[in-house]
Chain A
Amino acid sequence: MSNDVAPKRLKLRSKPSRTADKVFFAVAKAAGYSSFVLVAAILFFLMLRAWPAFESQGVVNFIFGAGWNSTTDPQIFHLGPMLYGSLLIAAIGVAFAVPMAISISYFISFLAPERVAKIATVIVDLLAAIPSIVIGLWGLGVFSPVAAEWGRMLSEALGFIPIFSNAVDIFLRSPFIASLVIAVMIVPIIASITREIFSQMDQEIIKGAMALGGTRESIFRKVILPTASGGIVGGVLLALGRAMGETVAIFFVLNLTFDDFNWFKILEPSGGAVASLVLARFNEALDTELSALLAAGVVLFVVTLIVNTIASYIVAKAQPWRKL
């Protein structure tokens, strides 16, 4: 057997052959590639302007170092605390938002009477479309004082745990509040996408689970959630992108501390967020600082890309059946 000549394989054609198909294919291809080109072009021109900052500060220092000051000589533009703050706030925001959003969409999809479900769906979709400046103003005017009170209570009750300790006794403008505002902003986005995914669940599979003696709770945990998880993570990523790049909504409710990392004391009034930094400094920035702000943009962009890639990888890993 081993010295048999392998049969000649046919050349299989996966490309379209009919003209209409060809045109469609070409247009789709052009559109697809142009999005790559666009992203590359944006990154390229940003890089062009950002390069001087990377060069003068050193890439590693720029990304991981602390301190931001245009009045010293030499100027210091180190993004570390801002970048870390962005990630921290986004992470806490997502941690708050995901269970909330899943509960809402579960209620709408599986528990609520049809009428209620319809109304709730409209409301959630509307909430998802609220401009962030409105949420920011609400955060500033209405929510901050309330959330500060929650922060105080948390700290009084659980202050012995380092995360909840607060040495300065001011509870306004903390990462905690910023992440709650972010959560409020992204809950409707995640809920809207999750509800859509739940509504497309194969009913036959749910019936199969019922017939095997499943309860509402066990079917949700063992059948619905695993099936929907890929889509939910997609929704979370979309929301995360918005959370990390969010400027206005957090700007009003967070103190920026450039010189120090606030690693975990989420109730203290000191934190960071790249986008807020840009908003805070952009108006007064002169040439070199402008370059540094653009460099911050580049870093944020790349970090968002990395986070998304990791998440997609995790989703793909966790769902081998999707390849079928």
Chain B
Amino acid sequence: MSNLNHLETKDINVWFGERHVLRDVSLQFQNNHVTALIGPSGCGKSTFIRTLNRMHELIPTAGLSGQVLLNGEDIYAQAVDPVNVRINIGMVFQKPNPFPTMTIRENILSGLKLSGRKIEDGDGLVETSLQRASMWNEVKDRLSEPALSLSGGQQQRLCIARSLAMDPNVLLMDEPCSALDPGSTRRIEETILELKENMTIVIVTHNMQQAQRVSDSTAFFLSENGNPGEVVEFDTTENVFKRPKDDRTNEYVNGRFG
């Protein structure tokens, strides 16, 4: 399993209606790797990350070309069911979005129920998922309380735990900490570092320190003068921040624009 979490995109182009917003994005996401996607607002990071689990196609005007390969297989192939793609490639959103009508426990098991899979050992799954999201000790005595009774940071970690319960190969995170306090942010970063032992993680972030703290590779996206967004530089995080090859990367990571 552990070497089989390889995600790769080939020449991804995205349109909304007639508007071309991403051009020729080809990236590789390796197992046990955290890859950060950085870039100014509006350059297409969220759009790109949504193409990785087929959430993109839910937008009515969305257009797409290119390939997304999970372990060598194109997730956009005709025979592939998008539901299975989303089971294998989990996603955590910017704003915590636990299901308000469900308890903490029910939220953890919600993915299995929604995708119509059997729940073998519910209690065990709830415990391991919460443990992997490092919040088991905080909530183990209140599993049957409504999810909304948790703090914002806890809700976000619950959403992470909820994704983990599906045992995904890849976890996508779109600015998972932007609505959170520094303490919660730190804890989620620690969680990310633990999680990457078993999976591939892609994270969008506006926080340069965060990118350096958690990621192994970094892709810098840029959309200039209304042109479609492109990847300007993709390298190890160390190279991108310490020895950027492109001047624009240099300016961005040193906070001179964006």
Which residues on A are within 8 Å of B, measured CB to CB?
202, 204-205, 207-215, 218-219, 222-223, 226-227, 319-321, 324
Contacts and interface: CB of A to CB of B under 8 A. Distances in A.
A188 B205 CA distance: 47
Given A222-B114, A321-B146, A324-B148, A207 B55 contact: yes
Interface of B: 53, 55, 58, 83-84, 86-87, 90-91, 93, 95, 97-102, 110-111, 113-116, 146, 148-149, 159, 162-163, 166
Given A218-B114, A324-B146, 20 more contacts: A202-B97, A204-B97, A205-B99, A207-B58, A208-B97, A211-B91, A211-B93, A213-B86, A213-B114, A213-B166, A215-B83, A215-B115, A215-B116, A218-B115, A222-B110, A223-B99, A226-B102, A227-B99, A321-B101, A324-B149
17 contacts: A205-B97, A205-B100, A207-B55, A207-B93, A207-B97, A208-B97, A211-B53, A211-B90, A212-B110, A212-B115, A212-B162, A213-B111, A214-B115, A223-B101, A227-B101, A319-B101, A324-B148
Contacts of B83: 213-215
Contacts of B149: 324
A215 B116 CA distance: 9
Contacts of B87: 212-213
Contact of B101 (A210, A212, A218, A226): A226
Question: Which 6 A-B pairs rank lowest in CB-CB distance, beginning with the nearest?
Answer: A213-B115, A214-B114, A212-B111, A211-B91, A213-B87, A226-B101
B204 to A, nearest CB: 14
B145 to A, nearest CB: 9
Contacts of A213: 83-84, 86-87, 111, 114-115, 166
Nearest to A205: B97
A159 B221 CA distance: 71
Nearest to A323: B146
Given A218-B115, A222-B110, A210 B55 contact: yes
Most buried by B among A204, A209, A212, A222: A212
Contacts of B95: 204
B55 A218 contact: no
B99 A209 contact: yes
Nearest to A228: B101
A255 B152 CA distance: 60
Contact of A212 (B100, B148, B163): B163
Given A207-B93, A214-B114, A321 B159 contact: no
Nearest to B159: A208
A180 B110 CA distance: 38
Contacts of A218: 113-116
B174 to A, nearest CB: 10
Nearest to B106: A222
Nearest to A209: B114
Contacts of B111: 212-213
Contact of B55 (A205, A211, A226, A321): A211
A320 B87 CA distance: 30
Contacts of A207: 55, 58, 93, 97
A319 B103 CA distance: 11
B86 A208 contact: no
Contacts of A319: 101
A219 B114 contact: yes
A232 to B, nearest CB: 13
A166 B28 CA distance: 73
B103 to A, nearest CB: 9
B146 A211 contact: no
Most buried by A among B83, B90, B159, B162: B83
Contacts of B116: 215, 218
Contacts of A222: 110, 113-114
Contact of A321 (B93, B148, B162): B148
A211 B101 CA distance: 18
Nearest to A214: B114
A219 B101 CA distance: 13
Nearest to A230: B101
B114 A212 contact: yes
A202 B95 CA distance: 12
Contact of A204 (B86, B93, B113, B148): B93
Given A321-B146, A324-B149, A210 B115 contact: no
